């Protein structure tokens, strides 16, 4: 193969025949099969193993470099890492994609078929987990010393099946046939204590000493997943902890003849890392979830301290120079009292010294303002599981309340608002408050969100500690979300601006000058059409629906939640259906509404909305009177690998949350980067996307945050919209009939009820008319092919700001104060 001219400096080089030899070697020696017998799964594993040889060399060199340089590192604590598939990403980041493709080709194997064999690593719910995955990609790419810490769930987010229109949850078993990327590190196993009681002792010097006598000990087994930076030079680690029974405790039971009881303990210990909680935006309040959180935080802190002590012994004075811990939401907030416990009870530092360390180590990212998503744990539950931690939290709060009293003397209402402990029928520990008090920096994830965090969520905190609350707008990795998922568009971009845009996304602005160029427009839209054909094939395969690739592909992909308002789109689809029935000549460009969404299993209305979308889709898709112009496709089991197919094919990106509710959104960025035009509210990062692309290249509609507030204050009456707008009334009434659910009238009525009788919390009806008008503007714009091509190109061109490299640069400069540590060539 001829060497291509490239601006990207690579850490490794291996040629086609070497790669081919490595794959065959692993097919024989690792998989125990051969070229004639191997199926695609075996080829996938052999290809991963060939790749992993390169990855592990990079990992070894990186770890050696970081060790020799005794680097300050960020430790990204997150209960979720939504990694998706790794092979194509690792090949791309190492610059070996074309090499592997050619090597497999010579073996008569299709790389794209092999890539389809990989199960997604779905160890996350949605945006928060995927953000963590994008961030560790950027950290490695930018050669920053970093480690991700999380949980090695045996089962990731459930697999969604749709049966008769309804969501059914099935277990996800991503590791059933082995995971070729992970490395078990038994040498770094940690033990974690739970339950028991606290003994108070009085030392010789009169110092009160606390000793926690745990009732239970579990082991944490670390599994390392290498994280390959673009260019293949730095390979960082994602370290995920698996729980196991600790042999130590169980032997007593065993020896007493309790063989069966010992097994019960094993099962209990192993339950901790068994399954990812599928709730997003609601706190579960379950004991096991708190144990999961503490389990991975305690293992990770021990790991960090072990590494620190190896270099610095018992001298804690440099800890804050070496270690920063970023808390991805409050899920790992229990790490704050855990570090205090280690410093005060174990290292015997006095409280003030320990607190000074703690509050220089932790930083906290808030991802939500929704009250139901703010974690609060019953004090009673903490007392049972982590008795010493509850004491420490009380002590933190006691000292904090004194500080509050200094600032607002005698003001009990401000104390009640700021207290980490919420008084009430049941005392609750507010993990958000604990995180703010215990961290030196707190950030929201988009400009608007961070303003609302300051003004509404933690108002007095901003007065107490000016500057502590700040913003870092989210980002996405352009390596996965453009280069890897959309190779055709990437090549077109390369031909105009060179191939180093994945490292410097602002370079995409270089295509703006071709936005009105007819040839470029044709090329750009040709790529889009090809991607639409691929997705159309997927829709045909998965749902049996034929879709017209000349139609507008209107895509809404995200978790199902009332605040995200998939049902606003649904009402509009029903309205279009009705318009077409009433007037077969109703003038609209053909459109396919494409959805992907999982609902939390216990979230009844979210599941009802999925059911309704599927029932309305059935009817419309099979109605010859309208199905040349309107189709609806709900693709089951939305996940990272499906997103990679849907995003490159989207014309329109639906970002229609109630203003003030979506903290940032990141799907909005991915879709715009791939040339989809947004229809959206002034919410989250949509606002910043609009600033970048300009008002003429986005369809903004609906109430603003201030208008939402005013409307709610004035007493919002959804029935007013129902009676005022005949279309709204007609579609809501339609939901109550059996038109979409023959023989079962009322099967879709819960949606109508929520919008009328339950108050329409998310102002769907208030925004309906504006949404409908914005959709008509979309329709008009799309019909002007040149105008649409220009808009699409400008969307891609202007996404430079939203690379996760920029987010990471913001964190590094403003919060983490890290230096890059280039890996030395040996
Ligand atoms: C997961 C578990 C719990 Cl207990 C609560 C929330 C979640 C979760 O997945 N949240 C989530 O994804 N939040 C999203 O974070 C994104 C990244 O910052 C934002 O873009 C998005 O607006 C926000 O909803």
- Per residue in 456-490, pLDDT (tens digit) is 988 899 999 999 999 999 999 999 999 999 999 99
Which of 77, 78, 368, when mutated, tests ligand 1's pocket best, judged by the most ligand atoms within 8 Å of its CB?
368
Q: CA 491 to CA 482: how far, in whole Å?
A: 10
Start-end of H helices in 233-333? 247-255, 259-271, 287-312, 319-322
Catalytic residue list contains 310: no
pLDDT at 739: 98
DSSP-assigned states of every residue in 679-723: EE-S-TTHHHHHHHH-GGGSEE-S--HHHHHHHHHT---HHHHHH
Specify if 167 maps to a domain: no
684 lines ligand 1 (CB under 6 A): yes
Specify if 10 maps to a domain: no
Q: Are residues 415 and 507 in the same domain?
A: no
- Rounded to the nearest integer, the mean pLDDT of the chain is 96
Closest CA to 555 of 594, 509, 610, 511: 594
How many domains does one find in the chain? 2
Mean pLDDT lowest for which of 257-271, 482-496, 522-536, 561-575?
Answer: 257-271
- The stretch 173-192 carries a mean pLDDT of 97
Q: Are residues 32 and 104 in the same domain?
A: yes
Q: Cα 80 to chain center, whole Å? A: 7
**pLDDT band at residue 9 using 50, 70 and 90 as cut-offs:** low
Task: List the beta strands (DSSP E) in 302-406.
Answer: 323-328, 362-365, 376-378
Q: Are residues 469 and 525 in the same domain?
A: no
Q: Are residues 434 and 540 in the same domain?
A: no
**pLDDT band at residue 5 using 50, 70 and 90 as cut-offs:** very low
**pLDDT band at residue 12 using 50, 70 and 90 as cut-offs:** low
DSSP-assigned states of every residue in 404-440: HHHHSTT-HHHHHHH-SEEPSSS-EEEHHHHHHHH-S
Model confidence over 498-537: pLDDT tens digits? 999 999 999 999 999 999 999 999 999 999 999 999 999 9
Q: Are residues 548 and 454 in the same domain?
A: no
Specify if 734 maps to a domain: yes
Ligand 1 centroid distance, CA of 373 (Å): 9
Q: Are residues 509 and 464 in the same domain?
A: no
State the catalytic residue, choosing from 666, 678, 741, 796: 666
pTM: 0.97
Give the number of other CB atoms < 10 A from CB of residue 372: 9
**pLDDT higher than 90, residue 344:** yes
Q: CA 135 to CA 146: how far, in whole Å?
A: 10
- Provide the percentage of residues in the chain whose pLDDT is more than 90: 93
Specify if 566 maps to a domain: yes
- The stretch 439-460 carries a mean pLDDT of 96
Q: Which domain holds residue 482?
A: 478-802
pLDDT at 4: 44
387 lines ligand 1 (CB under 6 A): no
Q: Are residues 548 and 618 in the same domain?
A: yes
Ligand 1 centroid distance, CA of 478 (Å): 20
**230 in Cβ contact with 93 (< 8 Å):** yes
- The stretch 108-131 carries a mean pLDDT of 98
Specify if 821 maps to a domain: no
Ligand 1 centroid distance, CA of 450 (Å): 15
Q: Are residues 468 and 484 in the same domain?
A: no
What are 340's two structure tokens?
């205090």
Report which protein residue has its CA nearest ligand 1's atom 13: 128
Pick the atom of ligand 1 nearest to 373's CA: 5
Our CA angle for 392, 320, 292, nearest 5°, is 50
127 lines ligand 1 (CB under 6 A): yes
**567 HSE (CA, 13 A, CB side):** 31
Q: Are residues 298 and 344 in the same domain?
A: yes
Q: Are residues 705 and 730 in the same domain?
A: yes
Q: CA 534 to CA 737: how far, in whole Å?
A: 37
Q: CA 380 to CA 329: how far, in whole Å?
A: 23
Q: Are residues 225 and 255 in the same domain?
A: yes
Specify if 97 maps to a domain: yes
pLDDT at 281: 78
Q: Are residues 486 and 613 in the same domain?
A: yes
Q: CA 23 to CA 36: how far, in whole Å?
A: 14
Catalytic residue list contains 567: no
Q: CA 541 to CA 132: how far, in whole Å?
A: 32
CATH number at residue 793: 3.40.50.2000
pLDDT at 351: 98
Specify if 151 maps to a domain: yes
Specify if 235 maps to a domain: yes
- The stretch 538-555 carries a mean pLDDT of 98
Ligand 1 centroid distance, CA of 127 (Å): 5
Catalytic residue list contains 170: no
Start-end of H helices in 30-96? 40-69, 87-94
């Amino acid at each position: 193969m001829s060497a291509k001219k490239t601006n990207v400096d690579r850490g490794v080089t291996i040629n086609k025949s070497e790669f081919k030899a490595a794959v065959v070697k692993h097919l024989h020696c690792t998989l125990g099969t051969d070229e004639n017998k191997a199926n695609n799964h075996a080829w996938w594993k052999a290809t991963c193993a060939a790749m992993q040889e390169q990855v592990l060399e990079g990992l070894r060199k990186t770890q050696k470099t970081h060790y020799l340089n005794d680097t300050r590192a960020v430790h990204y604590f997150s209960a979720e890492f939504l990694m998706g598939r790794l092979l194509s990403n690792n090949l791309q980041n190492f610059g070996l994609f074309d090499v592997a493709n050619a090597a497999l080709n010579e073996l008569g194997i299709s790389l794209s078929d092999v890539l389809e064999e990989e199960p997604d690593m779905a160890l996350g719910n949605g945006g928060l987990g995927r953000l963590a995955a994008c961030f560790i990609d950027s950290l490695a790419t930018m050669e920053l010393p970093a480690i991700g810490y999380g949980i090695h769930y045996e089962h990731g987010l459930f697999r969604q099946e749709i049966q008769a229109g309804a969501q059914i949850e099935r277990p996800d078993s991503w590791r059933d046939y082995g995971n070729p990327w992970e490395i078990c590190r038994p040498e770094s196993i940690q033990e974690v204590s739970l339950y028991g009681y606290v003994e108070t002792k009085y030392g010789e010097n009169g110092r009160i000493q606390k000793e926690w006598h745990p009732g239970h000990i579990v082991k944490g087994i670390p599994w390392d997943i290498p994280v390959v930076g673009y260019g293949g030079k730095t390979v960082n680690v994602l370290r995920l902890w698996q729980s196991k029974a600790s042999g130590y405790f169980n032997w007593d039971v065993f020896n007493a003849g309790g063989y069966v009881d010992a097994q019960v303990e094993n099962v209990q210990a192993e339950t901790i890392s068994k399954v990812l909680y599928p709730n997003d935006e609601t706190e579960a309040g379950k004991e096991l979830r708190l144990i999961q959180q503490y389990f991975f935080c305690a293992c990770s802190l021990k790991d960090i301290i072990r590494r620190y002590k190896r270099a610095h012994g018992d001298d804690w004075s440099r800890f804050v120079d070496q270690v920063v811990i970023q808390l991805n939401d409050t899920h790992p907030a229990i790490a704050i009292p855990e570090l205090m416990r280690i410093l005060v009870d174990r290292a015997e530092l006095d409280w003030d010294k320990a607190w000074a360390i703690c509050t220089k180590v932790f930083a906290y990212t808030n991802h939500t303002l929704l009250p139901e998503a703010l974690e609060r744990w019953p004090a009673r539950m903490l007392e049972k599981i982590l008795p010493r931690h509850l004491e420490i939290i009380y002590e933190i709060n006691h000292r904090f309340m004194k500080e509050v009293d200094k600032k607002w003397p005698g003001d009990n209402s401000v104390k009640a608002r700021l207290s980490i402990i919420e008084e009430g029928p049941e005392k609750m520990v507010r993990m958000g408050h604990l995180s703010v008090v215990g961290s030196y920096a707190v950030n929201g994830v988009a400009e608007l969100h961070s303003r609302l965090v300051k003004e509404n969520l933690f108002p007095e905190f901003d007065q107490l500690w000016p500057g502590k609350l700040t913003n870092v707008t989210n980002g996405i990795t352009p390596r996965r979300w453009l280069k890897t998922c959309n190779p055709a568009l990437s090549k077109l971009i390369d031909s105009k601006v060179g191939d180093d845009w994945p490292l410097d996304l602002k370079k995409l602005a270089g295509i703006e000058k071709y936005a009105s160029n007819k040839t470029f427009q044709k090329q750009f839209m040709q790529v889009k059409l090809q991607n639409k054909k691929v997705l159309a094939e997927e829709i045909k395969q998965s749902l049996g629906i034929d879709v017209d690739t000349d139609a507008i592909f209107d895509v809404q992909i995200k978790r199902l939640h009332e605040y995200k308002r998939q049902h606003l789109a649904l009402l509009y689809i029903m309205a279009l259906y009705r318009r077409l029935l009433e007037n077969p000549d109703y003038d609209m460009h053909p459109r396919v509404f494409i959805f992907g969404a999982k609902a939390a299993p216990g979230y009844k209305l979210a599941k009802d909305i999925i059911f309704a979308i599927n029932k309305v889709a059935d009817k419309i898709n099979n109605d010859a009177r309208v199905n040349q112009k309107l189709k609806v496709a709900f693709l089951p089991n939305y996940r990272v690998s499906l997103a990679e197919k849907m995003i490159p094919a989207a014309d329109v990106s639906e970002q229609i949350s109630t203003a003030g509710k979506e903290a940032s959104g990141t799907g909005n960025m991915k879709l715009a980067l791939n040339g989809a035009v947004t229809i959206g509210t002034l919410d989250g990062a949509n606002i910043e996307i609009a600033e970048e692309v300009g008002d003429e290249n986005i369809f903004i509609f609906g109430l603003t945050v201030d208008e939402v507030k005013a409307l709610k204050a004035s007493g919002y009456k959804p029935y007013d919209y129902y009676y005022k707008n005949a279309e709204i009334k007609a579609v809501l009434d339609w939901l109550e009939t059996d038109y979409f659910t023959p023989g079962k009238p009322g099967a879709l009525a819960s949606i109508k009820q929520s919008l009328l009788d339950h108050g329409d919390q998310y102002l769907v009806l208030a925004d309906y008319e504006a949404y409908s008008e914005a959709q008509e503007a979309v329709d008009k714009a799309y019909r002007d092919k040149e105008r649409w091509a220009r808009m699409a190109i400008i969307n891609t061109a202007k996404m430079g700001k939203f690379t996760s490299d920029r987010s990471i640069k913001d964190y590094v400069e403003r919060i983490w104060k890290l230096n890059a540590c280039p890996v030395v060539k040996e």
